[in-house]
Structure 1
Amino acid sequence: MRRISNSSYYRILYFLLFSILCLSGAPLLAEADIAPEKTTDEKQEKEKQKGDSGSGTTSETGNGNGNSANDKGSIITITGTRRKGLLKDSTITTEVITRKDIDAMGARDLSNTLGNVPGIEVRPAQAGERGSTVRLQGLSGQNVLILVDGQRTTGRFSGSIDLTRFKAEDIERIEIVKGASSALYGSDAIAGVINIITKDQKDPYSSNFRTFAGGGNPLYYGTGLEFRNYASVGVRRGIVSTQFTAGWHRGDGYDLTPDATLGPKNGRIESLSPNYSPFPTNMPLATKLLIAKRHLPYTPPLESTSGSAFEDLNVSNKTTFDISEALKVGFQFYYRYLNQSAVDASLPNTVYDRNNKTHDFMGALNADWELTKNLNLNLNANYARFFDTYTLDQRQSDALDKREKLDNAVTEFRSRLDHKISEGHVISYGAETLIDQLSSARIAPDCKRNFPYVCVDDLLGISDTYQTKNGYAERQRTAFYVQDEWRISNAPRIQIVPGLRSDHDSIYGGQTLPKLAVRLDVTDKFKIRAANGLGYRAPSFQDLYYNFINPGVGYRVAGNPDLKPELSRSYNLGGEWEPNRTFWFSFNFFYNNVDNLIGFRTNPNRDASGLIIYSTSNFQKALSKGFESSVTVRVHQNVSLGSGYTYTDTKDELTNLPLEGRGYHRWNANIRLDHPSSGFSFSLFAVVFGKQPYYCQKNPLWCDPQLSSDYSAITSLLQANTNHLIQELFGSIPQGIQDYCTERNLSYCTSAPTYGVRMVNPHTNLNIRVSQKILGAFEFFAGVDNLLDTFDLTYNPQKPRFYYVGIDGKFSGTESSGAFSR
């Protein structure tokens, strides 16, 4: 990585001067309004905020918990306003998945939790992505900001963060704010924010461990097992509390393709061995004989894997120092090493062994200082780095071998001054600076982005087809914001949170981002919340400087340095009704209108070598609107039922097509049983997906029928006849008119491909988990993920039915007794 430029140092110096100014001006602000001594209730609330920041046992997700006002009173949230506060007092709708929810879901990482929340969809990675990705209110992962304890994460692929990176063992709770949040968080928070809150040490002594093993049908998983193990230990003595967590995970992945061997294996070489069988495992003997005698046309299956084999090591620490009642300093870090391997195949007989080695690190330092009864200063410094090496090895040839390295580092400094004007009225002033540095083989080198646009290596004829040359990019962002949290009245309770942010990007200049949130308590049992704001995403380095060539397939991907930032107008209107402790209902209407949405367009002209060029462009205007609801009924003290429904209507306003893969209807349901006296618990979580739209090429008025691979010759004949018909019908139309019609997907006036929609892939995911506590400290658990074994290699390449079993151990001790309780 390059050294930080002089301009970056000036921005850091500017940020520090602003923080000093806030601090030096504190006495002046304090003299303006001196609050009375805190009441007992205020002191208790302050102790809660300084202590456990997520120990609540219920949530506002509608995911099946018994929600009551008393339960919600103990949950503290941060994400909605960046200040700690009780969930029941929040103006901005914040949904919380607690630790109890995470355990009930049998979650192993973040991807196993979010899909049970209405309005959030977790999907297997698409081309260019990793692991699992998230959609929020119909918008893709590139528009969702994911934080860890309020710190930005790095390492996006095709704009999305891999959710499987974040292991469940270290998570205390997950906070979700839907709708544009750029006024508070800056770029990328167009659809909303997901904040992962990690565990704090609460007891004088504690330790915890979990060991887990799982697998499934050998046809998909092979003969190996998946193992996940972690342990944590923590101490709280005097002014110091600290907790260490370490985990080790490995698995052989899975395979959904009709392969000739049983399941995936690391370093697969079966097709190269002399005893390799060219027939799929379940092929009838009679068919094998006919093929062997060449009575049937047949192409042997190629080896490939759907889910990568992996070995994963992670370690983390979170330490706080209570220097005094007014000053608290915290430090945390995490490190993760991931080694993934997979097999890719393409016709007619090319097989690649793919490997990724990833190092992921984040370290942060935070100070929270109560200067006076009216003023609180928060300072934060964060450094995150994501380093990935990607290797592609073509079997029996070196012609297409390659290695690419990605190195992404983010340095961030933040300060916030909270000024308490009166009870229920706090104004926050914030300043932030961020330095983002990227070195990647997928972006053009400096010499090809700047005059004379030629690299010395090219002039000298020096090339390395294996190690791709990296390009480098750097940007700085500086922001100032103000936010006013004001309870205007108590009867009826009316609260507002207006905010304004001025964000300056070194590439795109300034952007002003407003927001407004309002809460009205119609009665003590019925609350209404509304919010609107401007969302903003500056184009990524990949969007701007993409330089990816795939000669084997015949295309090149090129960035566009003239892109405009994505902007969205977001509106949310919802409410909660809780007439008693046994019933809870929530609803929310949402509307998101995104301008300058960035995507890929086909360039009408090929490059000098004849490759098709796909270039990034602001060609889309997207609309996402809909409704989400949740209901929870506690039918017994130990039993609760929950359900939810989400309606999502999306549209590309240029082509008038729905956004691909966004289904209109989705249902959530769950049953939770928890019997404390016996230690037994049971949970069932179901997510039902309606049909989803996927694009298909029209011929020219409708899409060709979907035929199996056995009828590929018929498909090719239909396509050839269609192309001939289109040329005959539209060949005489002027090119300018055809370009206009192509851009707007009007099939009646262009010979270029236009697209329709197929509604496909309805399915249901059903997960079950049971557990039994033994001897107080131990818990045995077992479960089944994807019980109905639903997957589709094309549209839904998710993990097939998966069985697991494990044991949990939790120990804690008190300082007075010096002994562990279980």
Structure 2
Amino acid sequence: MVNFFPHLRGCFSFSGKSFSVAGVVESGTLFPMKKILILLFTVGTAQAQDTNIRSLETVNITHQLYKKQDDVIDIKKVANPITIIDKRTIRMMGSRRLDEVLREQTGMAMVNDLGSGNRSLGIQMQGFSSEYILILINGQPMTGRFNGNFDLSRISVSDIERIEVIKGAASSLYGSEAMGGVINIITKQTVIDPQATASLFYGTYNTMDATLQGEAPFTRGSVNISGNYYRTDGFNVNTEYLKEGQTSPPYHSINLQGRGHYKLSDKSSLYLSSRLADRHSVMDRSYGAQPFSDLLDEKDFNTALSLNTNLNNGWRLLGRYYITHYKTEQAVHIVETGKELQRNVFSQVINRLELQAAKDLLPEKLSFTGGLGGDHQQMIYSMYNYFGYAQLNYNPGPVYSFIAGLRYDGNNLYGGKLNPSLGATWSPAAWVKIKTSLGKGFKSPTYAQMYQVFTNITQGYTVIGANNFEEKIEELQKAGLVQQVWVNATGIRDLQPETSTSLNFGARFSFAKTAELDINGFYNKIDNLINTEQVGISKNGQQIFSYFNLKDIYTTGVEAGFKYSPLKRLVLSAGYQYLIAKNRAIIDNIGHTTVRTPEGIRPARASDYFGLPNRSKHMFNVQAYYDYKPWGITASLRAGYRGKYGFLDIDNNGYIDQYDVFVKGYTLLNASIQKTLLRDILTLRLTADNITNHTDYLMPSQPGRMLMAGFIFNLRKNSVH
């Protein structure tokens, strides 16, 4: 390692007509990359004796792409399996919303929340549903969930630098919401040259996606801002039953984001970021009876202020304050009379304060990451959380490395829980790396699950919290609103916190620098999983639900990913997941239950039990990315298969059996192509999603064939790249 420049640690090598550069940017410093590249290019061309501009293609520049300025947690030091989706991949996919990007990743599935009027799309990983996946923006938790689902479709990808995905229990670093994994959205971190970008895309369902973005450095810092407008007319994939209206509602949304950086001194920098989003949707529907109108307004705001300090003794300290506010207003009216049937208002505010620290205790051998803090959440009730965590990464040599972490999460309503994590890596050869991790997770029940009584008139159901079920169901009975309470309601108890244990074991194989194979097996055990079950029927035929703790749930399976680059500009990849997700209590007692077959009712067998709903046993994807720089053309072709999954238990025996309602297996085929013009100032793009036009009324938010076309116009100061 040679210090060629005061703010750059790097390695430089020359071989034939090419040279490579590897450097690390010191935190809080913007080094003169342009000058370095010009200098190195001059040296390289002198040695190569070739002034052709194509010699730029031989320059390989890698700096510390994944260092975050307002978060000390390094994803490369996490024990769990990780996936990083960079901006270039997102652009080559032609994706517009976050759900579109994630649904094409190995082992990740999107699930509709029917109770929210199909407005919410939640993510599923390793069999964990959306309630257990923590969604972050620059390391800070985002708010706003419908029935536990965080709606990923409301997030524009226009300002995303990369997406970091952690699979399995990650509570030792990220907290109690990360029982099933973490999705961390990283916005643009570094500004080197001033530039401005405008993009506009238009297509099927009158969908329009427009973005304006600008950024510029100044003497002691930088600033970038962006705005995105998105609208769609929605669509209907249930024409047989839905006579008028849409299964996925029309809506328009506005997203505004800004980020600023100011260098206070050579050791300290201040970062400020803000996001404001607003979405408005109106769903007019009729199933042949009285038409109704369902209006929903959503507002989402967050701001983070961070102070990053690098001390002389090697410690990096980061203090950050974060506030986020999510609010919805929903109103349901009869279309003909205008009579209001229902109005719901939800508001959640979180104020969060955290101090992080990191240090290489033994250079390149032992490092420390830790933090402590707390937050105050204000909803219908007020709640305080407090936490502290620490992790050590030990690398005694190139063959072995070890990780040990511990986190304590406390809550003024539910007490506290200690969650450890362990990880180890073994690299017996340069082309193979074996990795294993063990983590614990913890999640408290929500206020709504314990105490809230909610009736959704348009969907036709009532949900009663478990902790006050007896009291509330008695009130409804006295009012003459209940037709029947089922026997299973006698098993409702005060809800207990959910806990999980996550084990991952995997290996990565690299072949001749052109191919890479990843294989990971996982096992997750969840105790006291909070599940929603129907427990009765109201006088008007509507369903009555409440919540139960399920004692012993497990998900297990294997994921495999293969990437191969047969040509310099062509990348091929494939991924597969096999998943089993079941309730051991059902397995143990299935002999005492029955199933309803086409021939009649018979005793159930073990083979009848399919597994937890909304989980596919098989998922597979293949992708091809091609980049031909001489013509300025990039293209991608992607296909994803999802096997059948259970949708509805129609015989009410308490589980999905082979005679219940299933969503059939299906394949989605997507493609995109883009061409740059005028020295990369103008980019034209055409995308085609769901080319085969596959729809299913059981997937109300999956559109049919969708074509989008548009342009990206980029103006920036000329620089060497």
**Would you call these one fold, judging by a TM-score over 0.5?**
yes
User: CA 1:328–1:46 in 2, change beyond 3 Å: closer, same or farther?
Assistant: farther
Q: Which residue number in structure 1 is paired with residue 439 of structure 2?
A: 533
Identity of aligned residues (%): 23
What CA deviation, in whole Å up to 9, does each residue of 1:320-367 have, x standing for no partner? 1122221121000010111111123345x1211111111110000011
Q: Which amino acid aligns with 1:165?
A: R
CA distance in 2: counterparts of 1:521 and 1:339, whole angstroms: 52
Q: Which residue number in structure 2 is paired with residue 251 of structure 1?
A: 232
1:308 is paired with a residue whose SS is: coil
Gaps of 5+ in 2: 1-5, 12-20, 34-59, 468-493, 588-608
Alignment of 1:511-550 (within 5 A): 511-550=417-456
User: CA 1:780–1:678 in 2, change beyond 3 Å: closer, same or farther?
Assistant: same
Deviation at 1:168?
0.8
Tell me if 1:676 matches 2:651: no
What CA deviation, in whole Å up to 9, does each residue of 1:59-87 have, x standing for no partner? xxxxxxxxxxx8887542569x9636585
Q: Which residue number in structure 2 is paired with residue 310 of structure 1?
A: 251
Tell me if 1:784 matches 2:688: yes
User: CA 1:353–1:167 in 2, change beyond 3 Å: closer, same or farther?
Assistant: same
* Contact map agreement 1:201 1:234 (CA 8 A) in 2: no
Q: Which residue number in structure 2 is paired with residue 475 of structure 1?
A: 383
What CA deviation, in whole Å up to 9, does each residue of 1:617-653 have, x standing for no partner? 2135321111111111111111121111111111122
Q: How many residues align?
A: 629
Q: Which protein has the bigger strand share? A: 2
1:632 is paired with a residue whose SS is: strand
Q: Which residue number in structure 1 is paired with residue 711 of structure 2?
A: 807
Deviation at 1:690?
1.6
| Further displaced range: 781-790 or 613-622 | 613-622
Tell me if 1:191 matches 2:191: no
Q: Which residue number in structure 1 is paired with residue 620 of structure 2?
A: 667
CA distance in 1: counterparts of 2:538 and 2:672, whole angstroms: 55
* Contact map agreement 1:91 1:495 (CA 8 A) in 2: no
Q: Which amino acid aligns with 1:249?
A: Y
1:154 is paired with a residue whose SS is: coil
Q: CA RMSD in A?
A: 3.0
CA distance in 1: counterparts of 2:461 and 2:571, whole angstroms: 54
Tell me if 1:339 matches 2:284: no
Deviation at 1:139?
1.0
Q: Which amino acid aligns with 1:177?
A: I
Gaps of 5+ in 1: 1-36, 56-69, 216-220, 260-299, 439-471, 700-741, 746-752, 815-819
Q: Which residue number in structure 1 is paired with residue 131 of structure 2?
A: 142
1:427 is paired with a residue whose SS is: strand
User: CA 1:306–1:51 in 2, change beyond 3 Å: closer, same or farther?
Assistant: farther
1:200 is paired with a residue whose SS is: coil
Alignment of 1:464-503 (within 5 A): 472-487=380-395, 489-492=396-399, 494-503=400-409
* Contact map agreement 1:305 1:343 (CA 8 A) in 2: yes
Q: Which residue number in structure 1 is paired with residue 465 of structure 2?
A: 559
Q: Which amino acid aligns with 2:497?
A: P
CA distance in 2: counterparts of 1:101 and 1:345, whole angstroms: 41
CA distance in 2: counterparts of 1:691 and 1:550, whole angstroms: 29
* Contact map agreement 2:229 2:252 (CA 8 A) in 1: yes
Deviation at 1:615?
1.4
User: CA 1:628–1:642 in 2, change beyond 3 Å: closer, same or farther?
Assistant: same
Alignment partner of 1:614 out of 529, 545, 559: 545
* Contact map agreement 1:695 1:755 (CA 8 A) in 2: no
Tell me if 1:762 matches 2:665: yes
Alignment of 1:405-804 (within 5 A): 405-423=345-363, 424-438=365-379, 472-487=380-395, 489-492=396-399, 494-550=400-456, 555-561=461-467, 562-603=494-535, 613-619=544-550, 621-656=552-587, 657=609, 658-698=611-651, 757-776=660-679, 777-795=681-699, 797-804=701-708
Q: Which residue number in structure 2 is paired with residue 353 of structure 1?
A: 293
What CA deviation, in whole Å up to 9, does each residue of 1:77-131 have, x standing for no partner? 569x9636585x7655321000010001111011111122212112344323633
What CA deviation, in whole Å up to 9, does each residue of 1:251-288 have, x standing for no partner? 211122327xxxxxxxxxxxxxxxxxxxxxxxxxxxxx
Q: Which residue number in structure 2 is paired with residue 382 of structure 1?
A: 322
* Contact map agreement 1:49 1:84 (CA 8 A) in 2: no
Which protein is bigger by CA-based radius of gyration? 1
Tell me if 1:115 matches 2:103: yes
TM-score, normalised with respect to structure 1: 0.72
User: CA 1:72–1:601 in 2, change beyond 3 Å: closer, same or farther?
Assistant: farther
Tell me if 1:175 matches 2:193: no
CA distance in 2: counterparts of 1:555 and 1:783, whole angstroms: 39
What CA deviation, in whole Å up to 9, does each residue of 1:562-593 have, x standing for no partner? 21111111011112111222111111111111
Deviation at 1:302?
2.8
1:167 is paired with a residue whose SS is: coil
Deviation at 1:497?
1.5
CA distance in 2: counterparts of 1:127 and 1:316, whole angstroms: 30
| Further displaced range: 141-150 or 411-420 | 411-420
User: CA 1:808–1:174 in 2, change beyond 3 Å: closer, same or farther?
Assistant: same
Deviation at 1:756?
5.1
1:402 is paired with a residue whose SS is: strand
Deviation at 1:555?
4.5
Q: Which residue number in structure 2 is paired with residue 325 of structure 1?
A: 266
What CA deviation, in whole Å up to 9, does each residue of 1:484-521 have, x standing for no partner? 1221x2142x2112111111111100111111121222
* Contact map agreement 1:317 1:334 (CA 8 A) in 2: yes
* Contact map agreement 1:92 1:518 (CA 8 A) in 2: no
1:522 is paired with a residue whose SS is: strand
* Contact map agreement 1:382 1:413 (CA 8 A) in 2: yes
Q: Which amino acid aligns with 2:248?
A: G
User: CA 1:352–1:805 in 2, change beyond 3 Å: closer, same or farther?
Assistant: same
1:127 is paired with a residue whose SS is: helix
1:101 is paired with a residue whose SS is: helix
1:677 is paired with a residue whose SS is: helix
- Comparing both chains, which one has the higher relative contact order based on Cα–Cα distances under 8 Å and sequence gaps of 6 or more? 1
Q: Which residue number in structure 2 is paired with residue 457 of structure 1?
A: none
* Contact map agreement 1:344 1:353 (CA 8 A) in 2: yes
1:396 is paired with a residue whose SS is: coil
Deviation at 1:602?
3.4
Q: Which residue number in structure 2 is paired with residue 164 of structure 1?
A: 153
Q: Which residue number in structure 2 is paired with residue 284 of structure 1?
A: none
What CA deviation, in whole Å up to 9, does each residue of 1:694-734 have, x standing for no partner? 344349xxxxxxxxxxxxxxxxxxxxxxxxxxxxxxxxxxx
TM-score, normalised with respect to structure 2: 0.82
* Contact map agreement 1:200 1:243 (CA 8 A) in 2: no
CA distance in 2: counterparts of 1:807 and 1:511, whole angstroms: 51
Deviation at 1:418?
2.1
CA distance in 2: counterparts of 1:611 and 1:644, whole angstroms: 42
CA distance in 2: counterparts of 1:772 and 1:527, whole angstroms: 38
CA distance in 2: counterparts of 1:226 and 1:613, whole angstroms: 37
* Contact map agreement 2:342 2:457 (CA 8 A) in 1: no
What CA deviation, in whole Å up to 9, does each residue of 1:531-588 have, x standing for no partner? 1111111112221222113568775311123211111110111121112221111111
User: CA 1:251–1:552 in 2, change beyond 3 Å: closer, same or farther?
Assistant: closer
CA distance in 2: counterparts of 1:44 and 1:558, whole angstroms: 58
Deviation at 1:380?
0.8
Q: Which amino acid aligns with 2:384?
A: Q
CA distance in 1: counterparts of 2:296 and 2:454, whole angstroms: 18
| Further displaced range: 300-309 or 783-792 | 300-309
CA distance in 2: counterparts of 1:203 and 1:491, whole angstroms: 34
Deviation at 1:374?
2.6
* Contact map agreement 1:105 1:112 (CA 8 A) in 2: no
User: CA 1:124–1:203 in 2, change beyond 3 Å: closer, same or farther?
Assistant: same
Q: Which amino acid aligns with 1:668?
A: N
